[in-house]
Amino acid sequence: MINFKEEIAKEISKTVNIDEKELETYIEIPKDTKNGDYAFPCFRLAKELKKSPQLIANDIKNEVKLDNKVIEKVEVAGGYLNFYINKELMTKEVLEEIANKEEYGKAQIGNGKNIVIDYSAPNIAKPFHIGHLRSTVIGGALYNIYKYLGYNTIGINHLGDYGTQFGKLIEGYKLWGKEYEVEKDPINELTKIYIRINKLCKEDEKILEQCRMNFKLLEEGDPYCTEIWEKFRKLSLQEFQKVYDLLGSKFDSWNGEAFYSDKMPEVIQILEKTGKLIESQGAKIIDLEDKGINTPCIIEKSNGSTTYATRDLAAILYRARTYDFDKALYVVSYEQTLHFKQVFEVAKLLGIDEKYIKGLIHVPFGMVSLPTGKMSTREGNIVKLEDLLSEAIRRAKDIIEEKNPNLENKDEVAKRVGVGAVIFSDLSNNRIKDEIFDWNQILNFQGETGPYIQYTYVRTRSVLEKAGYIPSIEEIDFKQLLDEASNNIIKLIYNFQNILKQVTEKEEPSILSRYLIDLAKSFSNFYNDNKILVEDKEIQNARIYLTYSVGKVLKTGAKLLGIEMPNKM
Ligand code: ARG
């Protein structure tokens, strides 16, 4: 497709003495379509050219030639130049691209670049809760989008399968394992054991000591402790898999914290050599005060066991060597902001290439709460993700029963709608925002929701079904799609790949979610303004083709977010 920004920059560069590529970065897409398709703000040039933005805009306008068939019109508005692209040309470009590309919007711009994405990462023997859902969904969407743009993407589930809590669990299991149905309902039963042993530890110092001992034994490879630990891990993973199956989540690596148990000594060695690893109350720490971080990073606890941070440092070393990453994203709640600040700062001491340090990015997200309050593991009012998803599916089924009782494959549709609603709600706003989870809102077919996008897609399908054919691109008269509603759609579709790029620049999948809402809305406007199936074949063909194109982009975009489309609903 023609790159219109590039074309505009080329024209402007003929009139001012600034590099085309640089000019291109100035160009914006105006919010209001009345201000043209693209806008060039002249404010930045004002200083350099020692003229008012308004004057610069006028000068450029007078010099820009409009005989290249791409730009139809240029207008000055304040310090802006507003450019209007030839509508017919844009329509042709977009629809031909849709016709010729199996996967619209796919790109190769990431070729040769490696992106590691650390996401999901639930903790063994603990519930997979709604916070992990956000990580799974945001990380999964980023994974898909990077991949679609040609990056070599490595998805890692950095399972919380290590740490002192396993010493406790092993102790509890030793004491009361027989009383609990761990095999049958592993996470719930292990959580009960964990709560009970924690209580006992508070009452009995000797037991606490025994728990610490267990973890040391586990780190040393003691067969008995290892066996129990493996059992917990296996049973927990089976449970997690149920959720992953519902969400369609996949990972390239399941190397969790335990994977780094034999890789930490090297980290400690390296840190020791820097002279920055200091003793403090029996523990080994790195002081970060001079880096503006008030809390030191604990590398080894006073009892000699390692920490979450040490394992993350070992993981950085390992990932740099194994994946040679350009970016390593950590999709983890903002509650861990301090942790990542510390770890990324200490990583500078590991002696790895500067490029890896620059590539470390914490991608934080806000908390999700039920209307009744924060969902916390410690307070016990946890909502299990599996239950939440089942509930979503059940509710979606109820809605379908009410609206369309004769629908085929109701269960499959309910699954797509229910799960899609949950996924979309997690992606629909800026990720850093805290969210209140509200069933009525996320399942509202008229709202800015997953089901709304699915519903719009289904509408495009039913139009095509009613028409009974999809015209070939050669049969399309692009002039039939110059009305405002059609042109809005064309502009959005044109911008699809750019949206995907923005997602990877800001690590923000909500840019794509918002886009899909805009596209769905613009289709509704088009659908309300225009009859699609009409007498005039020329008009009908063009409108059917536009409908088909909208469906294609909605489906592709939703899939990138991890949402499956139903064919009917
Ligand atoms: N298991 C951790 C948790 O549930 C998240 C791990 C995130 N990844 C990492 N490399 N630290 O809080």
pLDDT beyond 80 at 563: yes
48 pLDDT band (50/70/90 cuts)? confident
Atom 5, ligand 1: residue with shortest CA distance: 121
pLDDT beyond 60 at 37: yes
Same domain, yes or no, for 57 and 145? no
Whether ligand 1 lies within 6 angstroms of the CB of 123 is answered as yes
- Determine the pLDDT at residue 536: 97
Number of domains in the chain: 3
Residue in 305, 122, 310 with CA at minimum distance from that of residue 214: 305
- Determine the pLDDT at residue 385: 85
Q: Please give the average per-residue pLDDT across 516-529, as a whole number.
A: 97
What's the Cα-to-Cα distance from 217 to each of 161, 184, 339, rounded to whole Å? Answer: 15, 27, 27
pLDDT tens digit sequence for 71-108: 999 999 999 999 999 999 999 999 999 999 999 999 99
Q: Which domain holds residue 310?
A: 114-369
Contacts of 419 (CB under 8 A, 6+ apart): 246, 247, 389, 392, 393, 563, 564
Distance from the CA of 258 to the center of ligand 1, in angstroms? 12
Distance from the CA of 264 to the center of ligand 1, in angstroms? 17
pLDDT tens digit sequence for 446-482: 999 999 999 999 999 999 999 999 999 999 999 999 9
Contacts of 113 (CB under 8 A, 6+ apart): 151, 152, 326, 327
- Give dist(CA 113, CA 120) in Å, integer: 23
Distance from the CA of 248 to the center of ligand 1, in angstroms? 20
Single out the residue in 70, 85, 100 at which a domain terminates.
Answer: 85
Instruction: Give me the residue label for tokens 């979610």.
Output: 513
- Residue 262 maps to a domain: yes
pLDDT tens digit sequence for 174-226: 999 999 999 999 998 999 999 999 999 999 999 999 999 999 899 889 999 99
Q: Which ligand 1 atom minimizes the distance to the CA of 126? A: 4
Whether ligand 1 lies within 6 angstroms of the CB of 158 is answered as yes
Whether ligand 1 lies within 6 angstroms of the CB of 121 is answered as yes
- Determine the pLDDT at residue 31: 87
- Residue 379 maps to a domain: no
pLDDT beyond 50 at 280: yes
- Determine the pLDDT at residue 378: 45
Looking at residue 156, which CATH number applies to its domain? 3.40.50.620
Whether ligand 1 lies within 6 angstroms of the CB of 258 is answered as no
- Determine the pLDDT at residue 371: 66
313/369: higher pLDDT: 313
What's the Cα-to-Cα distance from 438 to each of 370, 428, 431, rounded to whole Å? Answer: 7, 13, 17
Same domain, yes or no, for 211 and 356? yes
Looking at residue 543, which CATH number applies to its domain? 1.10.730.10
pLDDT tens digit sequence for 377-416: 444 556 778 888 999 999 999 999 999 999 999 999 999 9
CB 369, CB 134: distance < 8 Å: no
Whether ligand 1 lies within 6 angstroms of the CB of 131 is answered as no
Distance from the CA of 556 to the center of ligand 1, in angstroms? 30
| Out of 8-17, 325-334, 421-430, least confident range | 8-17
- Residue 206 maps to a domain: yes
Q: Which of 117, 308, 318, 332 to mutate to test the pocket of ligand 1 (most atoms within 8 A of CB)?
A: 332
- Give dist(CA 138, CA 423) in Å, integer: 9
- Give dist(CA 93, CA 351) in Å, integer: 49
- Give dist(CA 213, CA 445) in Å, integer: 55
Same domain, yes or no, for 484 and 543? yes
Same domain, yes or no, for 342 and 211? yes
What's the Cα-to-Cα distance from 40 to each of 308, 358, 409, 502, rounded to whole Å? Answer: 49, 32, 51, 19
pLDDT beyond 70 at 374: no
Which residues carry out catalysis?
A: 126, 129, 132
CB 7, CB 68: distance < 8 Å: yes
- Give dist(CA 143, CA 164) in Å, integer: 31
- Give dist(CA 118, CA 30) in Å, integer: 35
- Residue 495 maps to a domain: yes
Q: What share of the chain is helix, strand, coil (3-state, %, to 5)?
A: 60, 10, 30
- Residue 208 maps to a domain: yes
Same domain, yes or no, for 65 and 203? no
Whether ligand 1 lies within 6 angstroms of the CB of 118 is answered as yes
Q: Please give the average per-residue pLDDT across 147-170, as a whole number.
A: 96
- Give dist(CA 215, CA 263) in Å, integer: 17
Instruction: Round the average pLDDT of the chain to a whole number and report it.
Output: 94
Distance from the CA of 231 to the center of ligand 1, in angstroms? 21
Same domain, yes or no, for 131 and 12? no
Whether ligand 1 lies within 6 angstroms of the CB of 508 is answered as no
